[in-house]
Amino acid sequence: MSEFSLDLSEEQRDLRDWVHGFAAEVVRPAAAEWDAREQTPWPVLAEAAKIGLYGFEFLANSWADPTGLSLCLASEELFWGDAGIGLSIMGTALAVAAIYGSGTQEQLLEWVPLCFGDQAEVKVAAFCSTEPEAGSDVAAMRTRARYDAATDEWVLNGQKAYATNGGIASVHVVTASVEPELGARGQAAFVVPPGTPGLAGGNKLRKLGLRASHTADVFLDEVRVPGRCLLGGREALEERLARARAGQRASDRASGGQAAMRTFELTRPTVGAQALGIARAAYEYALEYAKGREQFGRPIVDNQAIAFALADMRMEIDAARLLVWRAAWMGRNNRPFAAGEGSMSKLKAGEVAVEVTGKAVQILGGAGFVRDHPVERWYRDAKIYTIFEGTSEIQRLVVARAISGRPIR
């Protein structure tokens, strides 16, 4: 009989400590500067690439962990350092997840190396799914893809919104509707290679948080890509469309809802781990501040109001981590999210990050409201985790549908 254990392996502990060291020594010292500059921290990306933290080999080795925990461990530590820089480093992984989730082995080998570049010239990649009128409502996507049989090319037209690395990426992975009448089941994902004419990025958006990470709209005007850029290939697409036309339920891998939903399913536990990193940073800082800050002749941590708040912060972080780890293990071992476990993990972790960082600001009082202390930045960074890659409301909808079996709207 196998023994149940939550102990990390030696390899997992080494990975966690290695990433934590980079976060503490390289990321944190640079965080305030790049947050204020609101620019992509290319020098930090270069440092990450130099040590092997940024690149496909790192992602592949992390994904090879049969427990599914390695990528979550690394993400929590990196985002403990800083979320904006962390997303600049990890943002490319979303495009890679799309290629992995929907593409063939040949496409993985062809396009993924171009997503990262090399140590001499670091590159980034972008996953472009959200649109001005199609965020949570994936079926409302207006970007279109039509096939030109004469040239064996796909022609893309449309606009994407809020794309991480949009416009500055070497490789863009774009979701588009092939048969609009089929809604979300008529969509597919395409790789847009570097330098393809017709793709343009808008101005970098100025954001509440994650300011070091580049976010922009992406415009596609008669963008022509070779037929091989359709992730999964034409044969698989035609089979899936035929099932959709016949009213049959697509298989798990083919549906990937749809390309966008397959990507989000793969990444939700990792996104939850990112939120945990922010929450843990705020909790640890508030705890140390409360131990050192004296009022009425004693440390404020001696007051139940403060101590109980810190106890709740720690409890919620640990509870969220267990949900994240469970979902990561299930996803890695192909266990179905029968109760929406992937959505649960992201939902809980995102809301915990907002709650914990808010309490950290409160514990610091006036000091928490100024930039002399990092908790205000963590507070700003946390909010997006209840919004992007599926809002909290959408995550609840996924869980509710899963547990009820009803078409809840």
pLDDT at 136: 79
Q: Which CATH superfamily, name and number, covers 125-248?
A: Butyryl-CoA Dehydrogenase, subunit A, domain 2 (2.40.110.10)
pLDDT of res. 262: 55
How confident is the model at residue 249, as a pLDDT? 58
Structure token digits, residue 286: 């508030």
Does domain 260-404 correspond to CATH entry 1.20.140.10? yes
* CA dist., res. 351 & res. 387, Å (int): 10
Cα–Cα distance for residue pair 182/385, rounded to 1 Å? 30
pLDDT value at residue 251: 45
Residues recognised as catalytic:
389
pLDDT, position 135: 81
> Which option is the CATH number for 10-116: 1.10.3720.10, 2.40.10.340, 1.10.540.10, 3.90.1150.10?
1.10.540.10
According to the model, what pLDDT value does residue 191 have?
A: 98
Q: What is the pLDDT of residue 119?
A: 86
Sketch the domain layout of the chain as residue ranges: 10-116, 125-248, 260-404
pTM, two decimals, is 0.94
Select from 213, 211, 220 the least CA-distant residue to 165: 213
Contact present, 100 and 332 (Cβ < 8 Å): no
Residues 38 and 212: their CA atoms lie apart, in Å, by: 5
Segments in the chain below pLDDT 70: 1, 248-266
pLDDT, residue 138, reads 81
Rg of the chain over all Cα atoms, to the nearest angstrom: 22
Residue 240 confidence (pLDDT):
93
Q: SS3 of 129, please?
A: coil
